[in-house]
Structure 1
Amino acid sequence: MVAKQQCGRRSDGGLATIGFLGDFARGHVLFSLYRLGPDQTQYPNGPCEYLLDCDDGVGPHEVCRFDDENFAPVWRGAWNGDAWCAGLMKQAKAFIAGAAPN
């Protein structure tokens, strides 16, 4: 019997293939960026929201969320104030702009 392949999950429980913009590594950590879409809880719809996850081998964890209106990330847990934050946002913005990150 062939095992059924399962799609990976994001930190928020969504399928990792939905909204996936790309990933990049820093050290031993893999970061993945997802486009979640506009905030539909308000009228008119809010700006497009993004999720940045990291996986250091124990599964995906949320790094931050931000929108494409002001790019002000809300960092989660120990990421708040981490030295990598500026570089992570630079890479995320490059994916959103459609450019290959450096």
Structure 2
Amino acid sequence: MGSPRNPGDDPYNLRSDGKPGVDGYVGDFRRGPAAFTLYSLGADHPGRPNRIIGYLLDVDDGAGPRECCRFTDDPEDVPEWSGAWQGDQWCAWLLEQCRALIADPET
């Protein structure tokens, strides 16, 4: 069976957006009972020299992956937090973990 750390082990491992868990996998981390998985969504316009990379952060606390946040590598952009994550006390810590994974991806 697959795990967040090895998304390729399970052919049914899907991201919250329904795409395969191996697509864009950057890495994962845990906090308490929640497992967070970070995916690169790729460049907004690959042909543009200063393209912006989008990211998806999923959370799974046992009920399957759900979108936690979307953000880009543009320092001017504001992260888009999903539902209950708006203003959550973990938000700054989550983004810090994501940036560490982006700087040193597991793949």
TM > 0.5: yes
Alpha carbons of 1:6 and 1:92: their partners in 2 closer, same or farther (altered >3 Å)? same
Given candidates 20, 39, 42, the residue that maps to 1:37 is 42
Gaps of 5+ in 1: none
Identical columns (%): 48
Task: Find runs of 4+ consecutive structure 1 residues off by over 6 angstroms.
Answer: none
Unaligned runs of 5+ in 2: 1-9
Q: Does 1:52 align with 2:57?
A: yes
What is residue 63 of structure 1 aligned with on the other side?
68
Structure-2 separation of matches of 1:76 and 1:46: 24
**Equivalence for 2:86:** 80
Asked if 1:96 is matched to 2:106, the reply is no
Which has the higher relative contact order, 1 or 2, with Cα contacts under 8 A spaced 6 or more apart?
2
Q: Does 1:11 align with 2:16?
A: yes
What is the alpha-carbon distance in structure 2 between the residues aligned to residue 67 and residue 79 of structure 1?
17
Q: How much does 1:39 deviate?
A: 1.5
Contact 1:7–1:17, Cα closer than 8 Å, also in 2: no
Tell me how far 1:72 sits from its aligned partner: 2.5
Give the length in aligned residue pairs. 95
CA RMSD, 1 decimal: 2.1
Please state if 1:25 is matched with 2:30.
yes
User: Which one has the largest radius of gyration?
Assistant: 1
In the alignment, residue 102 of structure 2 is paired with which amino acid?
I
* Contact 1:29–1:54, Cα closer than 8 Å, also in 2: yes
